[in-house]
Structure formats: structure tokens, C-alpha cells
């Protein structure tokens, strides 16, 4: 079966070591979906793909096919007891859905620290996107390949964000048995600092996208289609729809009821004197990054061409508000603390809007002013809503 944890065997810097890669592979199993290893620095480029069996493959083959002359059960038990060894971690399809807890079990990630891979992939995508027309279209050709390449790079950027979004509330899952050498507990809470780092990555990237809009004029669609088939896609590139749909996928992860429940539960699973990532911290990190324009505004004048809140951020704020409001009014599957914290954040955000709309020396652009007024209406509607809770039989 697939082993989607095999790519977490080595650190990215070690994957770049060509000598060890040839000798033992770059990932622990050929049964992972591993992306090409493209080093940030070309001088440090190692193997692009693993070229041999990894330690997990060899271990699985040994268990299944080793010729045993003596006590077969005892020998198989001895082989299986090695599960805690480096390179033998295992997670398969049912461990790799978006709502599954282990952030090391992914398709198309690479390295023992996925957040390092996320930062590398995001940086590479943002480096290449401005060059996409020059790199993919020759004189005399149409611009269709530029659109395809732009979509691939943007997709890689947001897939990387999805890896980061699995960290809040994350739990490492181990399949070691009691008595195995160096056996680990079945569950270990992801380090608090890594959960914070993941949220910081999201705040600096997916929640604050920087896209050169003039490049969109070169993203021509293919005119080919099968006869009798009506195309439902826009001819020009729907950048706002694309960005907000990808932002929504990340919000779905970090505000999912299961994610919020795990964050609450995880607080109880670490020692009382240990650092813990808490639910109030999670909500604060999210709202402070998404609504940063509301928090403090310098005196000045904003225009419809240089607004206080740009169009990508307005869409993000609307979508985040919608989800916070749903937690308050329909979040019965979320932990109660999540609902009360969401309500508290809505009250705080409403106060921020009041302060911003009344701020002296600040002249808002029409886009931002209308957006803030609409957000205030949405917030008040949610705070004033009646919530009916069914009584238990």
C-alpha cells in the first residue's frame, strides 16, 4: 500500500546529498507520491527523484518474503518490532485526508520538516510566476502555455499552503507496539512552535497574496473545445475567484470543527508546565493576520486605486467573517469554547470597525468604507441571531 510518510524520512539538506541518495534513496519508500527535489540553490542540487528502494521497502520485503527456517512467528515478530526505527514510519491513504491529524502524512511533500518544504516551494513559485510568459512562450506562439504554467505554479503555491494548514491542532501518529525498541506513544501533539510557525507562513503568504495584475493580460485560454460542448469557463483569467477559492480551502482547514476540537484536546495532552498551542491563541493569530488593516491605521487619505484594504484581502475578510459567524450561529459540531471565542472576536472586530469609521484624519476609499460597513452589518446580524439548541431526549 501507499506509504505517504516515507517522504518525511530525511531533512531537505540531506535529500540534496547525491552520494547518500544513490546509495540508499532520498525517500523511505517508492510507495509515496514524492515530488521532484528542486533545490533552492542550484549549486546544492542533488537527485531529482529517488532511484532505489528505501528502508521501508526493504523492511516490508523482508517481512513478506524472508526465508525462515526456524520459528516463523518469532522471527516475524522480531522483524515487525523494528517499527520505531528511522525510515520505517508508515501512513497510508486513510491517514492522509485533510482532516487527518498527522501533518507528516501528505502526497507530494518532501522532507522531515514539511514547513521548510512549504517555504521553499512558495518562494520558488513566486519567483517564477513573473517570468512565466518569457519562459514558456516563444515568438510566433500563442499564450496558452503561459496560462497553463501560471495555473500550475499558483496551484503548487496553494498546495504548499495546505500542508501548513494541517499543523494547527496536529498530532503525530505512530504505529509502534508496546515493548518495541524505542517505542513511541501512539499519539504525540505537534510542537506548539511549529503550529505557530505554520500560521505565520499562512499569514505572510496565502492571506496576503501579491500578484502582478498586468501579467494576467497574457494568460490566454485555449480556444479548443469539442463540438456541441459549451465552455463554462471565462475566457479571461478569473484571478479573484481563483484566489478566494484557494484561501477558502485553507480557512476550511484551520476553522474546521475537527481542527478546533483537536486544539482544545491537545491542551490536555501536554504537561502543565509545557508550551501549548491554545484555542484563544489560534483565533487571535488568525484574526490579527486576516483583519490587520482594521487594527491600526495611520492618518492619511486612501483612494479607490490605492485602497486601505485591497480586493484580495476584502474577499478573504468576507470569507473569514462568514465562517466566524457560522461558528456562532450554526457551530454545534464545534467545541463550545470555539463558539464563544468566535463571538468574542466578532465583538472585538465590530469595535475595530467603529473606531476605524470614526477615526479622525483618515479618509477611506469607497471600496474599503463600503466593505467595512457591510462587514459590520454581517457581524451585528450574527451577534443578534437567536440560536436554538435541541434538548436531549
- Confirm if 259 and 100 have CB atoms less than 8 A apart: no
152 contact partners, CB below 8 Å, separation of at least 6: none
- Confirm if 344 and 287 have CB atoms less than 8 A apart: no
For residue 299, the tally of other CB atoms under 10 A from its CB is 9
For residue 377, the tally of other CB atoms under 10 A from its CB is 10
The model's pLDDT over 25-38, given as tens digits with 9 standing for 90+, comes to 999 999 999 999 99
Of 283, 255, 254, the C-alpha closest to 345 is: 283
Chain mean pLDDT for the chain: 94
Residue 393 has pLDDT above 60, yes or no: no
Domain boundaries along the sequence of the chain: 1-93, 291-393
Residue 387 has pLDDT above 70, yes or no: no
For residue 213, what pLDDT is reported?
Answer: 87
Through-space distance between the first and last CA atoms of the chain, rounded to whole angstroms: 44
Length of the chain: 393
- Characterize the bridge pairing of strands 171-173 and 187-189: antiparallel
Of 82, 269, 56, 79, the C-alpha closest to 182 is: 82
Residue 57 has pLDDT above 90, yes or no: yes
For residue 228, what pLDDT is reported?
Answer: 63
- Confirm if 254 and 277 have CB atoms less than 8 A apart: no
The confidence band for 42, taking pLDDT boundaries of 50, 70 and 90, is confident
The confidence band for 214, taking pLDDT boundaries of 50, 70 and 90, is confident
> What distance in Å separates the CA atoms of residue 250 and residue 201, rounded to the nearest whole number?
12
- Confirm if 319 and 206 have CB atoms less than 8 A apart: no
* CA pseudo-torsion sign 317, 323, 324, 326: positive
The confidence band for 211, taking pLDDT boundaries of 50, 70 and 90, is confident
For residue 298, what pLDDT is reported?
Answer: 86
β-strand partners of 189 = 171
For residue 224, what pLDDT is reported?
Answer: 66
For residue 346, what pLDDT is reported?
Answer: 98
- What number of CA atoms fall less than 13 Å from residue 388's CA on the CB side? 1
Of 353, 348, 254, the C-alpha closest to 309 is: 353
For residue 32, what pLDDT is reported?
Answer: 97
For residue 225, what pLDDT is reported?
Answer: 63
Residue 224 sits at φ, ψ, to 5 deg, of -80, 140
Residue 100 has pLDDT above 70, yes or no: yes
Tell me which long-range contacts 345-353 makes (C-beta under 8 A, separation of at least 24): 345/283, 345/284, 345/287, 346/321, 346/379, 346/382, 346/383, 347/383, 348/287, 349/287, 349/291, 349/294, 349/321, 349/375, 349/379, 350/376, 350/379, 350/380, 350/383, 352/291, 352/294, 352/295, 353/294, 353/379
- Confirm if 380 and 320 have CB atoms less than 8 A apart: no
> What distance in Å separates the CA atoms of residue 266 and residue 287, rounded to the nearest whole number?
21
Residue 135 has pLDDT above 60, yes or no: yes
The model's pLDDT over 305-360, given as tens digits with 9 standing for 90+, comes to 999 999 999 999 999 999 999 999 987 899 999 999 999 999 999 999 999 999 99
The model's pLDDT over 264-301, given as tens digits with 9 standing for 90+, comes to 999 999 999 999 999 999 999 999 999 999 998 889 99
> What distance in Å separates the CA atoms of residue 216 and residue 132, rounded to the nearest whole number?
11
- Confirm if 157 and 125 have CB atoms less than 8 A apart: yes
The model's pLDDT over 223-272, given as tens digits with 9 standing for 90+, comes to 666 566 666 678 899 999 999 999 999 999 999 999 999 999 999 999 99
> What distance in Å separates the CA atoms of residue 348 and residue 267, rounded to the nearest whole number?
25
Percentage of residues in the chain having pLDDT higher than 90: 85
Residue with cell 535529500: 15
For residue 227, what pLDDT is reported?
Answer: 62
- Characterize the bridge pairing of strands 362-363 and 300-301: parallel
Residue 222 has pLDDT above 80, yes or no: no
Residue 114 has pLDDT above 70, yes or no: yes
Amino acid at each position: 500500500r501507499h506509504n505517504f510518510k516515507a517522504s518525511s524520512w530525511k531533512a531537505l539538506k540531506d535529500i540534496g546529498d547525491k552520494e547518500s541518495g544513490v546509495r540508499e534513496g532520498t525517500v523511505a519508500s517508492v510507495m509515496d507520491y514524492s515530488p521532484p527535489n528542486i533545490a533552492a540553490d542550484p549549486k546544492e542540487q542533488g537527485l531529482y527523484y529517488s532511484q532505489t528502494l528505501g528502508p521501508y521497502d526493504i523492511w516490508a520485503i523482508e517481512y513478506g518474503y524472508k526465508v525462515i527456517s526456524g520459528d516463523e512467528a518469532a522471527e516475524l515478530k522480531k522483524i515487525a518490532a523494528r517499527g520505531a526505527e528511522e525510515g520505517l514510519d508508515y501512513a497510508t491513504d486513510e491517514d492522509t485526508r485533510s482532516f487527518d491529524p498527522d501533518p507528516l502524512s501528505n502526497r507530494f511533500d518532501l522532507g522531515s520538516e514539511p514547513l521548510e518544504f512549504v517555504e521553499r516551494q512558495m518562494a520558488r513559485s513566486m519567483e517564477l510566476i513573473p517570468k512565466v510568459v518569457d519562459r514558456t512562450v516563444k515568438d510566433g506562439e500563442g499564450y496558452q502555455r503561459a496560462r497553463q504554467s501560471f495555473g500550475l505554479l499558483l496551484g503548487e503555491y496553494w498546495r504548499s499552503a495546505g500542508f501548513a494548514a494541517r499543523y494547527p491542532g496536529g498530532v503525530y501518529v505512530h504505529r509502534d507496539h508496546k515493548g518495541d525498541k524505542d517505542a513511541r506513544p501512539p499519539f504525540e501533539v505537534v510542537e506548539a512552535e511549529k503550529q505557530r510557525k505554520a500560521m505565520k507562513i499562512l499569514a505572510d503568504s496565502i492571506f496576503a497574496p501579491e500578484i502582478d495584475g498586468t501579467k494576467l493580460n497574457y494568460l490566454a485560454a485555449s480556444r479548443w473545445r469539442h463540438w456541441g460542448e459549451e465552455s463554462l469557463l471565462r475566457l479571461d483569467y478569473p484571478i479573484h475567484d481563483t484566489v478566494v477559492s484557494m484561501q477558502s480551502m485553507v480557512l476550511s482547514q484551520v476553522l474546521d470543527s475537527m481542527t478546533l476540537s483537536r486544539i482544545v484536546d491537545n491542551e490536555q495532552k501536554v504537561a502543565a508546565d509545557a508550551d501549548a498551542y491554545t484555542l484563544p491563541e489560534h483565533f487571535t493569530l488568525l484574526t490579527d493576520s486576516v483583519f490587520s488593516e482594521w487594527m491600526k491605521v495611520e492618518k492619511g487619505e486612501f483612494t479607490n486605486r490605492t485602497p486601505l484594504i485591497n480586493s484580495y484581502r476584502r474577499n478573504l475578510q468576507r470569507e473569514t467573517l462568514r465562517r466566524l459567524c457560522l461558528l456562532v450561529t450554526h457551530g454545534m459540531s464545534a467545541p463550545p469554547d470555539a463558539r464563544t471565542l468566535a463571538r468574542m472576536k466578532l465583538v472585538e472586530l465590530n469595535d475595530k470597525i467603529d473606531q476605524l469609521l470614526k477615526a479622525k484624519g483618515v479618509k477611506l476609499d469607497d471600496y474599503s468604507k463600503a466593505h467595512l460597513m457591510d462587514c459590520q452589518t454581517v457581524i451585528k446580524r450574527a451577534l443578534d441571531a437567536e440560536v436554538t439548541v435541541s434538548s436531549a431526549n
